[in-house]
Structure 1
Amino acid sequence: MMQNRWDFSKRGWARVWVLTVLGTLLCIGVAFAVDSYSFSTGTWVLRESAINNLVIPLILAPPLLFFLLSKLRELAIAHHELMSVAATDSLTQLLNRRAFTAIVEGYLERVEARQAPPNGALVVIDVDHFKSVNDSHGHDAGDKALRSIAETIRAQVREVDIVGRMGGEEFSVFLPGATIDVTRAVSERVRVAVHDVPSVPDDPERRLSVSAGGVVFARPTTFPELYRLADAQLYTAKDNGRDRCEIAVLDAAGARAGETVA
């Protein structure tokens, strides 16, 4: 991947070059200061050998600083890649369950700490009758279907929404600041879009469907509470015939049924 030449992050080359130059200038300044100060008289005197204070740092400092800063950059890149791998589901490239949970919990805690009115939604999405894909077409076809569905979900949500794979054929979407209308619209877009995806490569006529359960919140809450309520709505969608969305509202009075989209 080509990097931005003006990337001043710990992983960018611009940071290495700028710090090399600044470090070299600092070394030159220190060399002049140490060589020119007379401890006996307490005065600054520019000596005849002052040119060495410029030449020697220019010869030694740049390659040494560049080498050290380059190694620090490589460590930063390795750390970033390691964190990315630890947070990403290897099959779908979505957030894995632990990373998704941590991000949502962090969001809820920050909102509560700011004493801002908390609102948003959590939607749990499950692929209907997915076991039949693995049974009739094999796990490789099932993996391809999951990747296609993951891409479809990511394409239908808002830019600010967070998408993760919770395990197996279950996905979750967290919608910060979403109202019930927005949650309903996003869930419906995902449900309809999955119908248009040829989810089984060697059987292009076969289409899968998803069921979704969501909960819209308008008060302080926790991820376990949201997930429990959204999961309950998901099971309601399954019991009511699948290929549908059930959404509940969590407010000061507690959870109450919302609307069904089918």
Structure 2
Amino acid sequence: MISSSATIAASSIIEPGVVIGPHVVIGPFCFISAGVHIGEGTRIASHVVINGNTRIGRHNIIGMESSIGEISQDLKYAGEAAGLEIGDGNRIGRHATFHRGTAQGGGFTRIGHRNTFDGGVHIGHDCQVGNDTFIGENSGLAGHVTVGDAVRIDAMCAVHQFCIVGEGSHLLANSCVVQDVPPYIEAQGNRAVPKGINEQAPVFAAADEAQQNVILHLYDLLYRQQSASEDVKTEIQRLSAEFPFLRCFNDFFTRSTRGIIR
């Protein structure tokens, strides 16, 4: 079904079974396969390919020559049903590659809302990206990576498969991450190591002094005192009753399996 208010260039190919919402604009020489849903107001530049079970929300912008919803690059992928879900208000730059999920990863790659992906960004199979993130030019997430809300990943960064990049953290340019990055940490290097607190993270910047001091205290435990992760978890649980925003730390340590950057 194609909305009567959608604008589609004559040179683009839209297979039967595509759902295109109101006021969608699709530029020239695009190919969109059956099973794709595109939400209201989304704008797609020229030479974009969108494949498979891909659902794109409202008011997204997709740059030229991007590949959205291609099959997984995982060698274990055997053609099973899998998909890609993209939320609302995302800006995807030119030459981006976003892959569908696999059965081993729950079946779906998921992108939240209001994210910005610069040119050449790669999102691998089964990645889970939150809301209000920024990923810079030519950076890539391998399969099964989780990126929390309000994360900033600068240009030319690489994140190893199954890593977690915690809420509000910041990876500086040219960094390679092979272990999990706790919330609100600024990290840099190959391999990435902590450089301090990301004081520009919205939650940290908006927090009062007591809340900021709690985050600084946790950083001190992890990286200056080199406390064991179990001791840090105990301290987080103790503080969570007074500071509910620490739930993101509880969630991070509950899911972390690769160890944290040190």
TM-score class, shorter-chain normalisation, is: under 0.3
Structure number with greater CO (CA < 8 Å, separation at least 6) is 1
TM-score by length of 2: 0.27
Higher helix share: 1
Higher strand share: 2
Q: Please tell me whether Structure 1 or Structure 2 has the larger radius of gyration of its CA atoms.
A: 1
